[in-house]
Each structure stands twice: as structure tokens, then as C-alpha cells.
Chain A
Amino acid sequence: MATILIVEDQPENQSLYADIVYRVQRELGLTIQLRSASDFENAQRALERGLEETEEAPLLILLDMEIPYKGLKDKRAGYRLMQQYRERFSSSSWVPLTANIAWHEKDLFGETPLFDDLYKLQPFDVFSKGSTNELKDIVRRALRVEVERTGTRSQEDTTSLSEVIIKFGNELYAIPDYQLYRQIRSAAENTRGVLLFGEPGSGKKLTASLMHYYSDRRDANFCVVDSMIDASELEQMLFPSSKQADNDSLLDQAQGGTLYIADFDRMGKQDNEEIQRFQRKLLHYRKYRNYDVRIMGGVNRSRKGFPMFSRFLPEILDTMISLDLPPLRERKDDIPLLIEVFREQFNQQRKKQSERKQFIDLQQIHEIMQALDWRHGNIAQLRMVVEEVLFKAPSTSVTVDNFREVLEARGEEYASDITQASAETDEKRQAKATKPPLIITDEDLRKYGIR
């Protein structure tokens, strides 16, 4: 079993270092045995044992420079120990601990600065006694090396996504680990148009706006045609006629930018021929009238079994790539961040910024929300629920109970889901029992005159 050796003569320091090592060890999920020694001879013995076959060399050696040698305090005993064993324990990470400035300056007898000597022994790092966080960092780094070596951690963690910026309205949100991020990003960087497939409410418009944001067209307009419009009106809005004033049509407005057309397969509920005429017209305008507009189309269903070629002209399919947006129930990991985004939006729309609503015990909220199916409207449905909860919650602190109330009030469509959810959460919680949390609210604090 892997070991860590702590050589330190002061009991309180030794126990502090042991605590630090233990905390880091827990954090990284390692099981390492601790050993300690309080003087030169004991440390020597502990190291000698590491050389025997029965025991591994310590992973990490925290070594105080001033430890007793033959019963007397010796400022360089630790250094000598390191000199003696450094080569034999080349795989161990040595971390000398010093509290004395003499290591950094010439000492009274004008000998060579020991600090340089210390570095000649290639320590993993040197810790000047003081901030515990600094030592924690050193230990963490040293043990991470071990983690990487033994590969106890899965690859996913190391390749986890960096922070993603998502734009909603005029606001940008930093969101880590959004599942669709990679696809959105690479589609955005492509210059072609995009066909987005997904159930109603799965976030097609949002994705389109994100792709616009990530593309090099970011500075130009992002225009949207929604699905409510009828055919003739759509034609008028879309295609600029010579009679119209310049900036009146959508193609004009979206010049250099992106145009998102919802219900792209049905444009104003027309029949197939009409749609293809529209598509032809779009291609024509782009090709011969020099409209530089990136077209994104939304299709309100999944791609599976969709009669692609009978609905779209092959020419238009040439200019577009397809992207599937899975329904929310298939990517429940995104729920927490969406909840957070909706809360943020809700707060920004409130007049009183001081009364920002906050979620308490997010873990439970996430659990209950993730257990639901979201079959009836995906992200839009989630948004409605979150907003209703935020709207109805009496205080600025929103708890899981507020969520339960709203979900119950919404009736049957959720009923089966809730029971399922609570059963699941209960099961999860059994391992780590928690009392209902005590929440100190702003009102409590106000009573005591804290504003």
C-alpha cells in the first residue's frame, strides 16, 4: 500500500500536516497510509523500511529541516537525511519544510547558502512554514502525479469541457459542461446553413442563436421568422422587392448575419410545391442578388423517418448540414444549468434587484427535476415550471418544497413522475441521511438588524 511519511518534531505541526494530507487524500479519492517520525533516527528507520521489499517507498515525504538528531535539535538534520536518501528514493516526492530564513541567506558562519544546496537535491517543492493552503497545494500536486501514474481516474475528467458562454437575449451566461456544446461549436464554425431537428421545445431557436454567436457573423444581425406566420406574409417579409424600402425585408436585415426560419419544412403551412418554390427563391436571392445570409432552419420533429428529400430541394440540402437536438429527457444532465439560466433570467427581469430569488438545496431540486420526463414540451416546459416556482415562492429563498407544490398543482402530467422522483431521491439519500436543512433567510437576519 502507498505511504506518505511526515517527519516533524512538533506534535501540533505533525497533526496539522497529517490533517492536510488526509483532506487532500479524501479529495482525490486515494487510500494512502500515513507514517510519521519525530526525529532523525526514527525517520531513518522508517525510510530504511521503505527500502525493504515488504514496503513501498513513500510517495511523498514531508521533511522538516530542523529535527532532533541524537536527542538534540539540529538545524540541518533534515537536510542531511535528505542528502543521504534522496537518490535511493528518487521516485518519492520530497518536500522540505523550513521555517528559518537562514536557509535563504548566508548564515552567521558564512557557509554556503543552504537554500541552494537544498535545490540541488531536487525537491518536489519547498514549503516555507506558514500558509496551510500553500502546503495543501503542494501535497495536492504531488498526489495528482500519483493519480496520473496509476490512472485511477477516468479519462473523462481530464478532458472535461472548458467553460461555455451561452447567450440569452442580451445576456451572456458562462456555463460549464453543456452537453451539446461541441456539436454546436463545430457547426457554428462551419460556413454552411444548419437544419435543426428536434421536438418542440428542445431549444432549436436557442441553439441557432448560439451558433450565430459562435460564428464569425456574430457582429451582424440574427433574425428570426417564427412558425405562426402565413405563406403570403412570409413571402413579403422574407424577400425584398424593388418597391420596398431598403431595410424592410428580413434578408436585408440579416445581411451578413443569420436568419433562423422556424418550421422550415412547412413554411407557413404550405404544400410541398410551394415550399420548394420558396426554397428555390431563397437560393436565387442568395446566389444572384448577393444576399450573404446564413440560413438556419428548424424542424419540429426528430430526423428519424423524416422524408428529407421529398421536402427539401437537393440544392438546398447541399448548402446545409443537419443537427439533431435530443429531447430534454435524453440529456438530463443539462437540467441543472438550464434551471440556473432561467433563474438568472427571471431575476434580471425583476424590478427590485435586491430581491433576487435564490435556490436552496440545489442538489435536491436537481434530483427531483431530473427525475421528471419533460415529455410535454422539453426545455419550454422546464422553463415554465421554473418560472412558476420562482413567481409563486413567497420569500427570496426557493426550496425544493416550492418545486414540489408547483409540480403537484400542475396535475396529472407530472403526478406519476413525482412519485417516481421522490422514490428515487429517497433511495439516493439513504446512504447519507440529512435532516431538513435550516435556512437562515434574509428575513431572519433583518429581525436582528442585519441588512
Chain B
Amino acid sequence: MKFLVIPKANLSTTTASIKIQDGADTIFHLELTDEQNNIANWQTLFNYLRKTQPQELKDLLDAVPQLLEIEVDEDAHATYLNMLNALYMWAEKEKNESQEKDSAENDIPNLYSLLQQLKHALFNFEVIISANNEYYEAVFPHPGQEEFPVYIPSNKFDKAPVQTSQVMLKKAYERDPKYIEYFINNYTHIQEYVMSADPTSFNVFIGLSKALVKLIKQENANLGIYVSLVPDICTFIVRKEPDNEEQKEYLELILRSFEPVQQKLERLNGIIADVKNEISPRWIPHQANIRRFEEDGYSRLMHLISLISADYLRRYDLDSSAKFWHNAKSKDPVLWCFLLLHRKPYLYLLLQLALLIPPSVYAFQHWLTGQPCPLILGSSGPVIAKICPPALNSPGAEFVIKLTWLIWYVFLVLLLLFIFTQIMRKRWLYSQLLLPRILGAAIVGLLPLLLNDQSWNIGVLSNVFNWGLLALLTYIFSFIYVFIEVHNIKKFIKGHSIAQVLKESGRIFLIALSETLFFVTITSSLIFPAVISNIGGEIINYKFGIYASISLISFGFFPSLIILWTGIALFIGSFVQLIWQDQRITESI
């Protein structure tokens, strides 16, 4: 059988006469201009033949198995590949359509087998282990021309697959670029077909994929022009790579690629869905290993999401980063809480305020009475007993305040417990949702306040106007800092708006605020009993607050102090951030 392309020069266009001959018989004959000779046009042609000249199409299809075996001249080869590729795409479409209808209506018998034959001939990347086990013989698909076997020493490949593959690709490209070009151009199809190949072919293919990414990235061996293919290749590697570090390397290339935002999001979600599917509980032969299998799979998924979500956090896209975690559909309660904090931080703030209101009401009522000293509950300590009125004996107030503080401590203990167990189970990957960097900075901001007596006085003894102004300024400046940070990054992103920046920075601010409030409330109330001796006589002036020393716990609660300190801690924290300015405030640690 022969595949011939005979060029005919007309006045304006060049036409090629395409013939498929078996001996003296011409099976197929067609004339196409140069512009028409492309895959899309061939596909249309097959559709046309199917409707108008089914017999001709049938003859052609019958000849395909033989056609795949022949060798084609250099000038005819491009046309030959166009035709086969188009035929493959057309057959796949036909197969899908016939499946949607009733397959009995399909008037092309053996369409499926034909499709598989085409697929095999066009995209079969194969690796044969040499008889003595010392070489892998990689055969690159390239129908219509001679095979091109490349031998690689197997022990070297097994030791350093990526480097060896790089050498292999480079040398093969030097020897005959068209084989490698065909391989790269049809990468996605070959990748799909290699999934069903034997493990050796598959492993060598993964090695080659990694090497290809490296070569393209280094713009080595003239492969730089294939840069748009990198996300596709990396997606395949990330899906199949069990090693976290390797996975990270190639995932970052996807994240950094210049793909349209929506396409990238789809790709990333696809990867997550794929990995999730792979680790989904299923029956495996050794029941005992199920748990291990699940744990490994789960931590792999978490790792993957944390990498993706961290990247979006770095760009202050909190919605997307949360969505990735949400897509994991994990049943982990801590993740769930963190995610809620991340998406709706005001809920946490409201919950904390709700907890603070009942004791504040008591403190306020006490303040209205005009008595010196804070409201004293339980037994008053020796220092306070000398200068302050005796403790209030009110079971109702005591109960409410005890309950409130119990809830705070339960929260704290639960948080620590959860964090500890998650670290033990190596699942502590979603800590980034807490924005740990800004939380750390706020804690650093809190430390000087705790260790300085003056700050207690500023928090409690300032007059209302000064206190209010100070508090307001600290909050406003902290917010402005966050806003500037976010805006600095967002301004480079296409289609951003100030409203969006305000929304994101507001959310980051609220997350930071609710976290700082939590820590300030707990630490300030716990430390107060210890600083009483230093404050000494001035305790008389601490009117708006509660000092409780009830069975087991003693603490001081001063609403104005908490509000002011939260602001100052945030304020100092923001400026601590300036030291780390090369990194984002949302970065994980």
C-alpha cells in the first residue's frame, strides 16, 4: 500500500493530489489546497464522506490498519499525520455520539477497534527492557516513518530518572528533532494512552515528562517554545507523584504559569478531585492496611491543598484559598472551625463579644455605683482587702462570670488539644488559614504590654476621650497597614477594584482582630492577679472592672483594657510586620 502526495502548481494556489494506492487499485483520491490540508478540515471531510459517500469512507477505513504499517515519504508525511490525527479525532467523536444514541444504529462496524488501532499507532510510547535487563529501549511513536529506538542504561535511569531522561531527550533531539517534536506536540494523547501501559513504560514516561519540564524551563535544546505545555505536563506529574517534595516542585510551576485565572482554577480543582478520588476509601486486598492507606492518602491531599491554598493566600485571594479546602470535603472538625474563621471571621468576633458582654454588664453596674476599686468577687486577696471594700457575695454574678471564664478556658484547652492531635497525626497543614504570621506579630505586640506596669494604667485609668481616641487610632492604623499591604499586591492583578481590596483587607483585619482579642482577653485576665502588688494603691482607681478570686481561679477583667490592648497589640504587630516585609502577612510559617 502506498500513500502519495503529488503537488500540482496552479496559477494562484498549490494543490496536492492525495492518493492511497494498493497495488494498481486506487483506494482513495482527493485534491486539497495547502490551506485546506489541516486537521480540522480533514475532520470535516470525513463527516462529509460519511453523509454522502459512505462506500468510499468504508474503503478508506478498511485500509487504515494497513495504512498504519507503511512507511511514507518525507514530503507526504505531514499530510499523512494530519489525516491520521483527524481520523482519530473523528472516530472518537463518532464513537461518543453513537454511544449516546443507540449503538445499534452505528453503521460503521468496528469503529471502536479502529479507534484503538489508531490510538496505538499514533500515541504508543513504549519501553522494552532489553534481554539482559541492562537497557531500557524507549520507542517514540512516529507513524509512517521508521522507528527510533533510544537505549538508556537501566541502572542509571533507576538511580537518577530525571537527569538521565534529560540527557536522553537532548541527544534524541540532536539526532532527529522530529521524533521529539511529535512526542511533545502529542504529549496529552500519549500521556492518556500511557496510563494503561506497563509499569516500566509508565515510569520512563514520568521521567521523561519531568525532564521535559526542566528542559523547557531552562529553554534548553530549543525546547523553550513549548512553554505553554508546561501546565499540562505538570498536572500529570502532580497527579501521579507520590513524593511530596517532588509534587511541590511541579505544582509551583502550575501556580506560576501564565494561564488564564479561570483555567488555572479549573486545573487545580481537577487535580484535587483526582487525588481525592484516588485516595477515596476502597476495598484493598489487605484490610489491615486500609487505615494506613487512608492516612497516607489524606495527608497527601492535605499537603497538596495547603500548597495551592498558600499560593492564593499569598495573592490575598482568601475566597479561592478557602474554596480549595472546602473542596476537600474533609470531616476534620478543626479544619471546619478554621475554615469558618477564614470565611466568616465576624462570627468569631461576635461570639467573643457575646461572651464578654455579661461580665461587662456587671462591671458597668459596679462603676455606676461610684465605689472605688473593681467589683470584687469571691475572697479578696490580702493586698486588696486592706484598701478595697469587702467582696460582693452574689451567687448570680459569680455563676455568670465563672461560666464565662469556663467557656474561655474550654476554648483554649480544646484549641491546644486539637492542635496537638493534628500535629501528631501530621495533619497540621491548614494552620495557614489562621494567618499565623499576623497572629504571631500580634502576640509579639502584646508582650511589651504585659510586661509593663504603665500599660495597665493606660488601659484602665485613661479618661474616656483619650482612651477612645487612642483605641480608635490603633485600630484604624492597623487596618490601613493591612489595606496598603493588600493593595500593593492586588494592584498588579488584572481587574482588581478598591472595593475588592477593602473586602479582602477587611477580612484579614477581622481574622487578626478576633485572634488578638482572644489572646488579649485570656492573658490579661490571667496576669492581673500577679501585678496587683505592683499596682498597689492605684487599684482604688480601677473602678470599671472585676477582680475575681473564686475557687481555684483568680483573674481580673477590665473591658477598657482589653479593647485598648487589642488595638495596640495589632498596631505594634503591624509594624513588626514591616521587618518581614518581603513576605506577605498571609504567608504560612
Which residues of A does B touch, CB under 8 Å? 11-12, 15-16, 18-20, 22-23, 26, 31-38, 42, 45-46, 49, 98-101, 103-104, 115, 128-130, 132-133, 136, 336, 340, 343, 358-362, 397, 432-435, 437-442, 444-445, 447-450
Contact = CB atoms under 8 A, between A and B. Distances in A.
Interface centre among A31, A99, A440, A448 (most CB of B within 10 A): A440
A439 B134 CA distance: 12
Contacts of B109: 33
Contacts of A438: 148-151, 171-172, 175
Contacts of A433: 71, 145-147
Interface string B171-183: 1100110000000
B151 A130 contact: no
Contacts of A38: 99-100
Which 8 A-B pairs rank lowest in CB-CB distance, beginning with the nearest?
A19-B196, A433-B146, A34-B112, A101-B281, A22-B116, A437-B149, A20-B196, A439-B151
Contacts of B284: 128, 130
Given A49-B104, A104-B283, A129-B282, A358 B116 contact: no
B469 to A, nearest CB: 59
Interface residues of B, number: 56
Contacts of A22: 116, 119-120, 196
A343 B131 CA distance: 13
A367 to B, nearest CB: 13
B135 interface: yes
Contacts of B135: 358, 360
B80 to A, nearest CB: 15
Contacts of B49: none
A95 B110 CA distance: 23
A46 B195 contact: no
B112 A130 contact: no
Contacts of A33: 109-110, 112-113
Interface in B530-560: none
Contacts of A358: 132, 134-135, 153
B470 interface: no
Contact of B104 (A23, A36, A45): A45
A355 B120 CA distance: 38
Nearest to B71: A433
Contacts of A104: 283
Given A19-B119, A46-B103, 20 more contacts: A12-B192, A16-B196, A23-B196, A33-B110, A34-B112, A36-B103, A42-B102, A99-B277, A101-B281, A132-B195, A336-B131, A340-B131, A358-B153, A362-B132, A434-B147, A435-B146, A435-B149, A438-B151, A438-B172, A445-B167
Nearest to B278: A130
A55 B550 CA distance: 88
Contacts of A448: 163, 166-167
A42 B147 contact: no
Nearest to B116: A22
B229 interface: no
23 contacts: A22-B120, A23-B197, A33-B113, A35-B112, A36-B103, A45-B104, A98-B282, A99-B277, A99-B280, A132-B195, A136-B196, A343-B132, A358-B153, A359-B130, A360-B135, A432-B147, A435-B148, A438-B149, A440-B150, A440-B168, A441-B153, A445-B153, A450-B163
B104 to A, nearest CB: 6
Contacts of B283: 98, 101, 103-104, 115, 128
Interface of B: 71, 95-96, 99-100, 102-104, 109-110, 112-113, 116, 119-120, 130-132, 134-135, 137, 145-153, 156, 159-160, 163-164, 166-168, 171-172, 175-176, 192-193, 195-199, 277-278, 280-284
A361 B146 contact: no
A132 B110 CA distance: 25
Nearest to A55: B104
A104 B287 CA distance: 11
A45 B437 CA distance: 61
A19 to B, nearest CB: 4
Contacts of A441: 153
Nearest to B174: A438
Nearest to B160: A450
Given A19-B193, A435-B176, A45 B102 contact: yes
B175 A132 contact: no
A358 to B, nearest CB: 5
Contacts of B198: 133
B171 A444 contact: yes
B149 A434 contact: yes
A213 B192 CA distance: 51
A440 B146 contact: no
B17 to A, nearest CB: 26
Contact of B103 (A45, A336, A442, A449): A45
A362 B151 CA distance: 12
B132 A359 contact: yes
Contacts of A23: 196-197
Contacts of A445: 153, 156, 163-164, 167
B151 A36 contact: no
A288 B150 CA distance: 67
A440 B199 contact: no
Contact of B151 (A336, A437, A449): A437
Interface centre among A115, A130, A432 (most CB of B within 10 A): A130
B269 to A, nearest CB: 15
Contact of A437 (B100, B112, B150, B280): B150
A361 B151 contact: yes
Contacts of B134: 358
A42 B131 CA distance: 46
Interface centre among A38, A444, A449 (most CB of B within 10 A): A444
Interface centre among A34, A98, A432, A438 (most CB of B within 10 A): A438
A18 B282 contact: no
Nearest to A441: B153
B167 A18 contact: no
Contact of B99 (A31, A37, A133, A362): A37
Nearest to B285: A128
